[in-house]
Amino acid sequence: MENRDIVIIGAGLLGCFAARALSAWEAGVTVLEAREDVCTGISRANTGIVYAGYDTKPGTLKTRLCVRGSRSMEALCRELDVPFSRCGSLMIACGENAERMLRKKLADGMENGIDGLRLLNGAEVRSMEPNLTARITAGLYAPGTGTLDPWALGIAAYENASANGAEFRFGEAVRAIRRDGGGFVLETDGQTYRARAVLNCAGLAADRVRELCEAPLVRLFPSAADYLVLDDVARGFVRHVIFHEPEEKGKGLTLVPTADGNLLVGPTERDREGAPGATGGTGLARLRALCAEIVPELDLGLTIRSFGADRPNPYYVREENGVWQPEARSVNSFLFLSERGLVSLIGIKTPGLTCAKELGDLAAETLLEWLGGAAPNERFDP
Ligand SMILES: Cc1cc2nc3c(=O)[nH]c(=O)nc-3n(C[C@H](O)[C@H](O)[C@H](O)COP(=O)(O)OP(=O)(O)OC[C@H]3O[C@@H](n4cnc5c(N)ncnc54)[C@H](O)[C@@H]3O)c2cc1C
């Protein structure tokens, strides 16, 4: 049996940033990761956007963390030597319904204290992005939006946490957790650990990991997404992140000029069709149709990759005749559950990348408080 102060389950963005935050303190931290490397889950396949903070509900934890995470991203990326592009974004509308949504986002953004937001007419949008369709009637400009490679950020957080003393163990899936005295006993296939506190950052499995020692409360019902990556020959086709707000219900198109110089197209929103992380024919066809509508001149022959992603949609569940049934609507806020030494981050979707450091800091603070504090790590180097 190995003894630790804190065990973190999962080495995605959240686990890596929590480990980094904890490595600033004299606390024995071990991260147990089921897979062979960091960031192979949700942190591998997402849109890589650092959100400005106008897109989330005013007054919520999500908005507070997003605004803080976005504002401090340059400093964080400088510390960790990760390329970051503050390219700005344009949310575009092609009609009255979508324009109404843009005005709502502008009002939310002002309430959230986001600087530089500006409502533009169609001609102004086209002068900034001439390759967009001439059908655009309005746009919401947000200079604070940016983009980076999510795994680059996760790898950097992992390397920094390791250098500061956090331990990472790969190929160690946590199979069992039981409360024991004031702490926990965790079992992987080959090891048993005793921990005083546990942080559950298991991504798509975070609900099931929590249920290894707690009654069901929230379950994840994943949906899928598809992306296309275009060769860097397409560099400069758009210079801002483009969010297309559709006139009808459904998901519009997102275009991201990535920090690497490629063009990322997607994501779709659809039911899972095959294995987790697989692309789907209907999703890819939808992306092509949206491109024909919004960026008709874009040469999709420049596609060099497609990839699929999974959204961890959380629903509160209640028991009915021995079966756990989800509520009608999924939970829209960040679920940060703190239960007697066990902290679970469940169903952290967008903007979890933007907030990764903030969520890691918050988790670390909660765990240290549970442990009654720790001395600072005098050798910590951010
Ligand atoms: C489609 C999509 C697009 C997104 N786009 C953006 C965006 O543009 N901007 C933004 O800010 N946010 C975005 N997000 C959100 C962001 O990507 C996530 O919030 C973040 O990556 C979640 O990281 P994580 O560490 O919780 O999960 P993961 O990266 O999935 O990590 C969980 C880890 O836990 C491990 N694990 C699971 N079970 C066990 C076990 N039993 N034992 C040990 N290890 C285990 C897994 O192997 C995995 O490595 C997007 C999310 C999605 C789904």
Whether ligand 1 lies within 6 angstroms of the CB of 76 is answered as no
CB 3: neighbour CB atoms within 10 A? 11
Res 277 pLDDT > 90: no
Q: Does residue 40 have its Cβ closer than 6 Å to ligand 1?
A: yes
With 90 as the cut, is the pLDDT of residue 159 above it?
yes
Per residue in 225-259, pLDDT (tens digit) is 999 999 999 999 999 999 999 998 889 999 999 99
Q: Is the CB of 347 under 6 A from ligand 1?
A: no
Q: Is 338 in the pocket of ligand 1 (CB under 6 A)?
A: no
Is 66 close to ligand 1, i.e. is its CB under 6 Å away? no
27 pLDDT exceeds 90?
yes
Mutate to test the pocket of ligand 1, among 35, 46, 145, 336 (most ligand atoms within 8 A of CB): 46
pLDDT in tens, 318-336: 999 999 999 999 999 999 9
- The pTM score is 0.97
pLDDT at 275 over 90: no
Residue 207 has pLDDT above 90, yes or no: yes
Answer whether 35 contacts ligand 1 (Cβ < 6 A).
yes
Residue 369: what pLDDT?
96
Q: How confident is the model at residue 124 (pLDDT cuts 50, 70, 90)?
A: very high
pLDDT at residue 104 in the model: 97
pLDDT at 294: 97
Give pLDDT, residue 151: 96
What number does the ligand 1 atom closest to the CA of 47 have?
Answer: 8
Q: Starting from the edge strand earliest in sequence, which strands make up the sheet with 241-244, in order? A: 118-121, 138-142, 89-93, 241-244, 254-257, 263-265, 223-230, 303-311
Q: What percent of the chain has pLDDT over 70?
A: 100
Q: What is the mean pLDDT of the chain?
A: 96
Which residues does 96 contact at the CB level (< 8 Å), separation at least 6? 137, 247
Name which of 142, 24, 37, 66 is nearest 349 in CA terms. Answer: 66
Least confident of 137-146, 180-189, 277-286, 355-364: 277-286
| Ligand 1 centre distance from Cα of residue 155 (Å) | 13
> What's residue 274's pLDDT?
82
CB 41 near ligand 1, within 6 Å: yes
d(C-alpha 363, C-alpha 22), whole Å: 9
Question: Residue 249: what pLDDT?
Answer: 84
3-state secondary structure of 145: coil
Which pLDDT belongs to residue 250? 87
Average pLDDT over residues 112-132: 98
> Is 132 touching ligand 1 by the criterion CB < 6 Å?
no
pLDDT value at residue 38: 98
Pocket test for ligand 1, best of 7, 42, 346 (most atoms within 8 A of CB): 42
CA of 32 to the centre of ligand 1 (A): 15
Q: Which own/partner contact pairs does 206-212 have at CB distance under 8 Å and 24+ positions apart? A: 206/10, 206/312, 206/344, 206/345, 206/346, 206/347, 207/314, 207/346, 207/347, 209/9, 209/10, 209/174, 209/177, 209/344, 210/337, 210/342, 210/344, 210/346, 212/174, 212/175, 212/176, 212/177, 212/178
Centre of ligand 1 from the C-alpha of residue 203, in Å:
5
Distance 11 CA to ligand 1 centre (A): 9
- CA–CA–CA angle 12, 306, 273 (5° rounding): 80
- Does residue 10's CB lie within 6 angstroms of at least one atom of ligand 1? yes
**Considering the chain, what percentage of its residues have pLDDT values greater than 90?**
96
Q: Of ligand 1's atoms, which has the minimum distance to the CA of residue 310? A: 53
Residue 347 Cα, ligand 1 centroid: separation in angstroms? 9
Instruction: Give the pLDDT of residue 255.
Output: 98
pLDDT at 276: 85
Q: What is the mean pLDDT of residues 275-301?
A: 94
User: Distance (Å, rounded) from C-alpha 234 to C-alpha 257?
Assistant: 9
Tokens found for residue 15: 């686990």
